[in-house]
Amino acid sequence: MTCQSCVRSIEERIGSLEGVVGVQVSLSDKEASLRFNPATVTPEVLRKHIEDMGFEASLLALPSQLQPSVTDWSDVTLGVEGMHCGSCVKNITETLSGVVGVNSVLVSLEKGTVDLRFDPSLLTLETVKGLLEEIPPGNFRVSIPGWNSRLNSASIPPQTVTIRIEGMTCSSCVQAIQGMVSQRAGVYAIKVYLQEKKGIVTFDSSVTFPEELRSAIEDMGFEAWLDQDSGIYDVSSSSQMSSALKQSHTSKSSPSETTDEIPSGSEDRETRKCFVHVTGMTCASCVTNIEKNLLKHKGIKSVLVALMAGKAEVKYDPGLLDPPQIVQLISRLGFGASVMEESTVQDGVLDLSVTGMTCASCVHNIESKLLRTKGILEASVALATNKAHVKFNSDLVGSRDIVRIIEFLGGRYFYIQAYRSLRHGVANMDVLIVLATTIAYVYSFIVLIVAMIEGAKQSPLTFFDTPPMLFVFIALGRWLEHVAKSKTSEALAKLMSLQATDATIVSLGRNNTIIREEQVSVELVQRGDVVKVAPGGKFPVDGKVIEGTSMADESLITGEPMPVIKKPGSCVIAGSINAHGSLLVEATHVGAETTLSQIVKLVEEAQTSKAPIQQLADKLSGYFVPFIMVISMLTVVAWLIIGFLDFDVVVKYFPGFNQNIPRTEVIIRFAFQASITVLSIACPCSLGLATPTAVMVGTGVGAQNGILIKGGEPLEMAHKVGAVMFDKTGTITNGVPQVTRVLVLWDRARLPLRKVLAVVGTAEASSEHPLGMAVTKYCKEELGTETLGYCHDFQAVPGCGISCKVSSIEDLLQNSPKTQETNTSAANPSYSVLIGNRQWMMRNGLEVTADVDDAMSSHETKGQTAILVAIDGVLCAMLAVADTVKEESALAIHTLSSMGIEVFMITGDNRRTARAIATQVGIKKVFAEVLPSHKVAKVQKLQEQGLKVAMVGDGVNDSPALAHADLGIAIGTGTDVAIEAADIVLIRNDLMDVVASIELSKKTVQRIRINFVFALIYNLLGIPIAAGVFMPVGLVLQPWMGSAAMAASSVSVVLSSLLLRLYKKTSIEEYESRAQSHRLSLSPSQVSTHVGLETRRCSPRSFHRGLDRHRRSGSGSSFLKLNSSHPSTTQSYSTSGGNIV
């Protein structure tokens, strides 16, 4: 298991098996605890199911039978004062859980209570009270209110409650809620329904209660409340539990949401579907043979075999068999079979390739016709990509019906296309072309016949040359347009070409020695396989390096121009190129799950989507053709009237006038010429192509620069953003604590620096606190080693620090490549170590002088944590640890501010840390101590002020705000939930890409406007010119001229969009040079900080007290004076990137 997705996959898959009552998987412990019915399923079957998912599984302990307890348990709620953090909760829980006679412990930090279930025959409340108050450091005070006894509590049946949930945006939200709540004590099962916005939880009422479950969901950033109408059900068995869930689950659930029901029997289970590629079928008898034989097997619900497609669709019970077993069943019948890659297309969703569209009128006609069809819920057609995305009710209409509708509106030739369009009561560009050529030909033919009948002495004026010229110019224009449009999706084609076709799978022996190599198609690589990548080769899958060192070129995927070093433990991306050095990579994501496949899919969907402005263009184009036909008829009538009233006007501007031609023929011929020219020059294509071509190029360029834009709407919205809200942890900061400074007190320190680091690193290695882990990592890097000394008698006191004894560091220092110290006189001395805050030192009898206190305060005012180190009773060092700000954060925020965008920071951290970080990066408005559920309220409040708000975040708690913001931007290193909820995903963890995405949006929208203006000007000027309005100034067009101009207009719009390919991200150096003369540092007093949902600004006085004290003490220097009566020296080390400066 590598991540929480693995945990969720196992919990969902195993939890759906028949007989499984509960599943709890621990990623850190690499263990799974299962509750199951041994009459239905065995441990070996469960282990095999886990291994079939690609994991290695083994039984740690034999199952024990659960017997209902007959103990007379007593319940009591104890009041506990002195709890400050999660460590206090952990200490109390661990202390009481190990006591004989305790059945369950539930500690609430918010309420300051401990809910305890115990056996009064084995344990007394006085004993419990004494145990709690003796927990170090002895700060807990316990009060015992009245308590009640519940006899034979094991007889209490499980209960089910329905919780309404708002703020879920995707399936990742569902999985996050299910994963978190299912791990809580007392929860038997949970099922969350996205569409119905509710969750059904089955729980033990003696361990937890509905309000606590509701609060847990709200703490994740969602709005939750108890459904009063559904009530709470008592459930005495797994079957009743399942039925209770199903009764409360309405029939509106989508197929994707009906999975993972709590099983009560195979007949009530959900059904899954898989597709199998079948070879060797020759006739309908083969189809019948496969269908009839598969249906005989238990667990097969339905089989549909397509002879021509060579494919079988099988619906099956996942608790009884899986797709590989279905393949074996077909193979036994004598046919070749293999599981097809799981389709990402959902039921009721159809993606089509539509050929024959020529203009935006076709788009409007197809969409309007589809939407008038019963059962069609949504239809979106993209002219630039020739694709259609249709959502439909599969009970009312099928895929073939939809395809048939679209086929009636398209064809191969102009006349067939026009005929089909007119037959369905619509008109498109082909109708205009056919009208122009038909009128010209029919008119010419009639005039010629009349001349022959009358025996005219001179050939009549005809338009026989017009139809072929029109067709030539139109065909040429469409060919050029097709060539240009293919260039708009070139970025997508480049991404798709990055995918490797083959992979070298290896089998490893001891010490990663290669035993066997096999060249296979990349589609056959499975998760967990080890792949060998030669120098210059492409990485076929996403994975983790297990052997070798090299550099990888990821520029075409992430936009990072410099090669990235890859060593054991590094992650690689499918499609990137191995520069030099052979690597062994363990596959973690394969097939459609790789980063490259996800990017390609995202870009494809974005290029097919429509920007809001495109909806208007398509609607206008739908009325364009009828409007042109009316103008053409008016043109004929107008020139007939003018010709008969003032023939001199026609004679003046008619190039083919001949005295021998009858006057009436000249007038009619001139009128039809103007009318045909109007039909030829009118072009709805330029309007229809103005937006989609620009969106295609813009999203492609964004993908090449590491910016994934999910469609035309966010691309258009980005340029309207007036306010950007940044999350702090992991977005503005790196999200990982780092040692920023080491201060060694040389007068008191009896050990050299490296020995101090060895002692501190060894001591903190036993700590689970994030700060302790950061210190250990720093010490290892400085010493150049992965092994440390021996730590014993370790004790951690929450909120204070640690104490322990450290030994065996002498060998460590001798073996360290960065250490050249000689061995000390003592072979392996032992050191008594204290590490913690001021109070911890004082409690252990150590004096913290004013100078040291001021040095600590100076770091604390910057939002850093100052840690003191005492070795053998001597205070000898101070370390400053902080979640450091990203290098580019300040520049990105300054650049956004210079663009006229308001910048805010919103965080759940305390106000002092938030103000310190904001001061460093230049943010003037801060919302601190904001709960995840309140971030949405902050976004909505800014929206109420008329601002378009962009939210930038990376965590699960940011996902509701990302979804509610006008533009959600997720950092690519963030969680799956945040990425799914966002509109724009930044592949690189670089905030300058936020600026680049807004810049790209502005460039794209500017290009769309240029295209629209050109298209409108072309039609507004071209149609009057063709109609003869500008004849008095000498502008007269022939029909072939109009067709040439029409073809040129479409090509010019596409070429205009292609200019976006010239976009290059502004370099960091250029941004730095722009900001150098304008960027000013902020003081804390300039930062406006608001707490929680408050709107008033918090006074920074308390912040300034410490700052003034620091300034008065003169501790801004790099040297400290510890005691005025005993002069001493100290040396200060500021660290940057893990190096002592």
Selection from 715, 723, 589, 727 nearest residue 985 by Cα: 715
Segments in 16-112 forming alpha helices (H): 43-52, 86-97
Looking at residue 446, its amino acid is: I
CA-angle at 802, arms to 801 and 803, nearest 5°: 140
Any catalytic annotation for residue 727? yes
Distance of CA 831 to CAs 136, 382, 802, 872, 934, Å? 22, 72, 14, 6, 48
- As given in the structure block, the two tokens for residue 667 are 């007038």
Bridge partners (DSSP) of residue 118 are 74, 102
Looking at residue 352, its amino acid is: L
Rounded-to-integer distance, Cα 443 and Cα 451, Å: 12
Rounded-to-integer distance, Cα 1106 and Cα 129, Å: 39
- Residue with structure tokens 């070409």? 497
- Residue with structure tokens 């670089």? 990
Question: Which H or E run contains 986?
Answer: strand 984-986
Strands 874-885 and 865-871: antiparallel
Segments in 424-465 forming alpha helices (H): 429-454
Rounded-to-integer distance, Cα 1003 and Cα 1024, Å: 32
Rounded-to-integer distance, Cα 164 and Cα 442, Å: 69
The sign of the torsion formed by the CA atoms of 1133, 1134, 1139, 1141 equals negative
* Cβ–Cβ < 8 Å for 31, 60: yes
Peptide bond into 561 cis (omega under 30): no
Segments in 372-428 forming alpha helices (H): 399-408, 414-423
Distance of CA 793 to CAs 141, 551, 647, Å? 26, 44, 115
Rounded-to-integer distance, Cα 347 and Cα 306, Å: 18
Rounded-to-integer distance, Cα 265 and Cα 248, Å: 18
* Cβ–Cβ < 8 Å for 1134, 751: no
Catalytic residue, chosen from 260, 317, 430, 727, is: 727
Three-state DSSP at 68 gives coil
Going by the DSSP 8-state scheme, the letter that residue 572 receives in this structure is E
Bridge partners (DSSP) of residue 32 are 25
Rounded-to-integer distance, Cα 1022 and Cα 1041, Å: 11
Rounded-to-integer distance, Cα 1001 and Cα 725, Å: 18
**What's phi and psi for 956, nearest 5 deg?**
-60, -40
Rounded-to-integer distance, Cα 1066 and Cα 895, Å: 11
Three-state DSSP at 1122 gives coil
Rounded-to-integer distance, Cα 227 and Cα 224, Å: 9
Question: Which H or E run contains 248?
Answer: helix 238-248
Q: Cα Rg for the chain, rounded, in angstroms?
A: 37
- 10 Å CB burial of residue 253 (0-12, 13-18, 19+) is middle
Three-state DSSP at 229 gives coil
> Which of the residues are catalytic?
727
